Amino acid sequence: MAMLTLGQAARLTGLGKTTITRAIKAGKLSASRRDGGSYEIDPAELSRVYDVRPQTLETVTEDRRVVHHATTDTRPRDGAGDPEVTARLAALEVEIQGLKALLEEVRSSRDELRQDRDSWKGQAERLVLMKPTETPATPATLMPVSVERRSWWRRLAG
- pLDDT per position as a tens digit, 80-101: 567 788 888 888 898 999 999 9
Closest C-alpha among 15, 48, 14 to residue 31: 48
How large is the average pLDDT for residues 50-76? 57
Residues recorded for the chain: 158
- pLDDT per position as a tens digit, 7-28: 888 888 888 999 999 999 999 9
Dist CA 57 CA 34 (whole Å) = 31
Give pLDDT, residue 47: 86
The pTM (predicted TM-score) of the whole model is 0.36
DSSP 12-45: HHT--HHHHHHHHHHTSS--EE-TTS-EEB-HHH
Phi, psi of 32 (to 5 degrees): -115, 155
Phi, psi of 123 (to 5 degrees): -65, -40
